[in-house]
A and B are shown apart, each in its own frame.
Chain A
Amino acid sequence: MTADDNADLHQSSPEPSRLLPILNQPATRRTALKAAGAALGLAAFGKAVSPLWSIPENVSVDEFLQQHYKELSDTDKQKVFARLESETQQKLGVEITISDPPPIPGVRYGYAINLSKCNGNGACMEACNKENNHHRGVQQSYIRVLELPKGTMDMEAGNTTYDHTVPQDDKYYMPVQCQQCDNPPCVTVCPVEATWKEEDGIVVVDYNWCIGCRYCEAACPYHARRFNWEEPEIPSDEINPDQGYLSNRVRPQGTMEKCHFCLHRTREGRLPACLEACPTGARVFGDLNDPESNINWVLQNKRVFVLKEELGTQPSFFYFFDS
């Protein structure tokens, strides 16, 4: 087939109507029925997908076209933050501020838990839920507290849904949350780089870039990732207005989220909400690079271990017992 043939065709084609076999067929009964069938089918399709028409209301053009966090300039970011603030104002009637504290140069965060002190009271989970504007419908939190029988590290013997007074004499308690791995499998598998590790060791998610494939959830060995199966619902008066873009702002439906060591607090020198809430003082947080920090004292003076060390994820989250 050459261009000449084509040109020839257009000029000398005896029956151009035959080029469109569906539209220009002779008007037989069959053609009429086909046309009617096609029209009916299209109408039915339009009706079938009508629930999708709610999307343009929820997703603005700006949000649809928004670039990856790392590609936003400072002015872009200000626009995005302003948009998110006004959307929250409209939707929930709450005035919030969205901040974006950068990692502090030279700081690398670590967390440790004293398993001899933790008594499984769950105050950390509750504080996490409130601080991070979690969906209230489910008792969502970034922390799960495992109740384990004394004498074993076998998680299969554990239970996270215990409902009795704590502590039980024959049990000990192990809170698990994001381990902020040095070699995080969730970052490796994300197909769109919606999650990455920041310089201070915190693995974050751009909630406006995540496509919701949940591959990171499959890859994480610590069950640290959560998916927003529906639009989070929080009573307006319970919303924490102090929000970070990469941390505790109200997450959109259909995207992943995770523990971020409360970076909107910790990068400003405060402590994570779960640590402040812990009544037993089992939690130790700080800068691994600072020799004077509490966390370094623990690492140097206690026999610490990490979970699932054999997987090579290299957590920055440590456990120890008083001995």
Chain B
Amino acid sequence: MSTASDHYPTLDDAAHPIRSYPKFLWWCLGQATNGGLLFYLWMFVLTAIALVGANAWSVQVAEGMIVTNMTDHVSWGLYIANFTFMVGVAAGGVMMVIPAYLYHDKKMHDVVVIGEMLAIAAILMCLLFVLVDLGRPERFWHLIPGIGRFNWPMSMLTWDVIVLNGYLLLNLHICGYLLYMQFLGRRPNQAWYLPFVWVSIFWAISIHTVTAFLYCGLGGRPFWNTALLAPRFLASAFVAGPAFILILFSCIHRAAGVKIDDGPKRLLINIIRVTALVNLLMVISEVFTEFYTGGGHTASARYLFLGLHGHNALVPWIWTAVAFDVLSTGLFLSPLVFRYSKVLIAACAMAFVGAWIEKGMGLIVPGFIPSTLHEIVEYTPSLTEWKVSAGIWAVGLMTLTILLKMWITVFSTRPSLSHESPASDQPA
């Protein structure tokens, strides 16, 4: 089964020390701690931010959620907003998996692991955002099926626990297996990863659908109680995910000197061209339904876009998001994104931030304003919430950096790629 590769006799030697998967992972992790000054500086800054977040969270656990600005009126805030958005980023990686495996796009095959690694980091962030939102984090074991009491299939939250952890495991397996085979110089055995890839494609859709169902299943919250929520989630996820990956490509190119082929980039841009338009169309559809009909159930939308009875904390946010969405869609549709990388990065950044606002604060907070008894209590995240959220972002970026370094290390150890593609432009 192993392909004969005579360039690296040490690896193919049966007596080579790295001959088991755990040892390979350990070796990879060791390699991932090597780097230049820029790398150490980057990791140092991230560690510092993560520590600030850990400290803020510890204070929150000790003193209670009172240190957040959430209230009985707005009982979910920045944490759940970030959680919802990161689920989208995790699902967005599937837009590389589909071309790579469904349409046998060879160039995409070479870099698809990047999308899967992004999914791993994003899901880790999702789980952390849920953990920091719990009033009693030490009771998380109540959620473990078998030991606790798992309200499945009734509670959508239990579905979310299943699909998020399942997606994490799927991607860990696929990434790890492909990297390990690459490292050994063997062609991956399709039976060991293709079925998981197929499952992961449906699974990626399901993580965002289930997360949308979490909100749109609540009859008492008219702002969320719309059948368009899940499709809208998916559309914006397939903008934000690929946009982040395109930024990532540029970072990898600049920081690690690894040039990513133009093929995957073009494909991702083309995907965003479609999904950004679909996303805009759905936003317009919802805004139309809300404002043309009018009536009591549009109060949250009015609060979000125009302000309600003098309360308008979210108005600047959402119009920034709308401007970013429209501008980035325009840029993506123009040929400039293919010609100038700076335009591309700007378009990606705007699309990403636009989706972050729209799917984060722009979705979660107005669901609670006005409250179910139509009281208006506004919400601005506290410093603690910003610190904890920044800390989780730092942990996510650290994880992603380490995973990408593992990938780069393996590919520079074994430049001849699997899947029979020579890929001469791969890292040396």
Contacts and interface: CB of A to CB of B under 8 A. Distances in A.
A253 B30 contact: no
Contact of A192 (B15, B68, B142, B220): B142
B4 interface: no
A12 B15 contact: yes
Interface stretch (A41-49, A80-88, A295-303): A41-49
Interface string B36-75: 0000000000010001101101110111111010111101
B62 A54 contact: yes
Nearest to B218: A219
Given A9-B15, A218-B76, A253-B64, A68 B133 contact: no
Nearest to A33: B40
B338 interface: no
A91 to B, nearest CB: 16
B221 A218 contact: yes
Interface in A226-274: 226-231, 252-255
A185 B220 contact: yes
Nearest to B68: A229
B14 interface: yes
Interface residues on B, range: 35 or more
Interface in A89-133: none
Interface in B4-31: 14-15, 17-21, 23, 26-27, 29-31
Contact of A191 (B143, B299, B371): B143
A157 to B, nearest CB: 8
B316 interface: no
A299 B30 CA distance: 73
B138 A223 contact: no
Given A6-B19, A9-B19, A15-B17, A228 B135 contact: yes
B270 interface: no
Interface stretch (B119-127, B154-162, B164-172, B340-348): B154-162
B65 A229 contact: yes
Contacts, number: 209
Given A51-B55, A192-B149, A214-B75, A227 B65 contact: yes
Contact of B219 (A64, A156, A221): A221
Contacts of B71: 229
A215 B157 contact: yes
A51 B61 contact: yes
A217 B373 CA distance: 13
Given A15-B17, A231-B64, A185 B58 contact: no
Nearest to A158: B374
Nearest to B44: A37
Given A5-B14, A21-B31, A22-B33, A189 B155 contact: yes
Which of A25, A51, A146, A194 has the most C-beta atoms of chain B within 10 angstroms of its own C-beta? A51
List 10 A-B pairs, minimum CB-CB distance, nearest first: A212-B135, A21-B30, A221-B220, A254-B135, A230-B64, A191-B157, A230-B66, A51-B58, A48-B55, A155-B374
Given A55-B61, A211-B134, 11 more contacts: A30-B34, A68-B149, A185-B219, A190-B155, A191-B151, A192-B143, A210-B139, A211-B136, A229-B65, A229-B66, A255-B136
